[in-house]
Chain A
Amino acid sequence: MQEELLDIICCPLDKQDLELDVAEREDGDIVAGTLTCSECGEAYPIEDGIPNLLPPDMREDAPA
């Protein structure tokens, strides 16, 4: 994920800004980290360079 993407993405639930916490970078791109909603505090992981911005009830560990 490129850091400039922060200007465009938002929390899927309340559409507020996300705060970035970088765990790993590669050639400037963010490979791993966390995006946290500045309003509701929901945390969204960045996994292998792709932000997982699915609402919590649609994540892999959520019951179908």
Chain B
Amino acid sequence: MDRSRADVRQTYDRIGEHFSKTREYAWPEVEAFVDDAAQTNLALDIGCGNGRHVETLQQRADRVLGVDVSRSLLDAATKRVPDASLLLGDAARLPIASGRVDLAVYVATLHHLPSREARIASLDELARVLDSDGRALVSAWSTAHDRFDAAADAETGFDTTVEWTLPGSETVPRFYHIYAPAEFRSDVAASDLSLVELEISSGNCYGTVRPEPF
């Protein structure tokens, strides 16, 4: 199956309205990361969806940028966080100037990019937009999740399709790359980011990252 990032956009434009209603609350791991951060000027949420973590970031930043590939999800975010700055954009080619972002979250989005090349490019883009003192939290679904049989100590993860069921039981396939924790480490290492800390929680890899020092 030939996959492109435009497919991801089409999928979330199709399921966005329903998906958004099921994504009401911020994740505790994200709240903890933001709680630990100092007050900053500019925060960024890559793959912001309906804006639930934009809301969390607004507690710590004067301005919050939310970027998503789906217009349908951004329309939901407009209602939830009307004072945020929302942009339609691609995680692997961010429309944001270099070195400007103090605090970022890139949550449950990396695993939708259909190739390792695109995933590492998106990590490079996160490194580029972060200030040298900036910090970000990157999460992805991992092989440690209950729903997968894979060994948690595998070197690499796998590609899969996870169906979204719309009301009326129509299903929409979504591409996922499920990360082995070791592979998450090596993809971050292959990018322009440095891993500060890796935690496995609720079946996800959570990496606290900063730009690689020059």
Q: Are B88 and A8 in contact (CB under 8 A)?
A: no
Q: Are A7 and B97 in contact (CB under 8 A)?
A: yes
> What is the bound-complex CA distance between A13 and B78, given in angstroms?
26
Neighbouring A residues of B97 by C-beta, 8 Å: 7-10, 15
Number of A residues with CB within 8 Å of any CB on chain B? 25
Q: Interface code B79-122, partner A: CB below 8 Å = 1, 0 otherwise?
A: 00000011111100111111010000000000000000000000
Neighbouring B residues of A52 by C-beta, 8 Å: 71, 88
Q: Are B69 and A8 in contact (CB under 8 A)?
A: no
Q: Are A58 and B6 in contact (CB under 8 A)?
A: yes
Q: Are B87 and A53 in contact (CB under 8 A)?
A: yes
Neighbouring B residues of A60 by C-beta, 8 Å: 9
A64 in contact (CB, < 8 A) = yes
> What is the bound-complex CA distance between A11 and B93, given in angstroms?
9
Q: Are B6 and A53 in contact (CB under 8 A)?
A: no
B201 in contact (CB, < 8 A) = no
The smallest beta-carbon distance between B54 and chain A, in angstroms, is 13
Neighbouring A residues of B59 by C-beta, 8 Å: none
Q: Are A53 and B89 in contact (CB under 8 A)?
A: yes
Q: Interface code A1-13, partner B: CB below 8 Å = 1, 0 otherwise?
A: 1100101111111
A22 in contact (CB, < 8 A) = no
Select from chain A the residue with minimum beta-carbon distance to B94.
Answer: A12
B4 in contact (CB, < 8 A) = yes
A50 in contact (CB, < 8 A) = yes
Q: Which of A30-63 contact B (CB under 8 A)?
A: 44, 49-55, 57-58, 60, 62-63
Most B Cβ at <10 Å: residue of A2, A5, A9, A57 = A9
Select from chain B the residue with minimum beta-carbon distance to A17.
Answer: B97
Select from chain A the residue with minimum beta-carbon distance to B95.
Answer: A53
Q: Are B85 and A5 in contact (CB under 8 A)?
A: yes
Neighbouring A residues of B74 by C-beta, 8 Å: 50
Q: Are A64 and B94 in contact (CB under 8 A)?
A: no
Where the two chains meet, the residues of B that have a C-beta atom closer than 8 Å to any C-beta of A are 4-7, 9-10, 42, 65, 69, 71, 74, 78, 85-90, 93-98, 100
Where the two chains meet, the residues of A that have a C-beta atom closer than 8 Å to any C-beta of B are 1-2, 5, 7-13, 15, 44, 49-55, 57-58, 60, 62-64
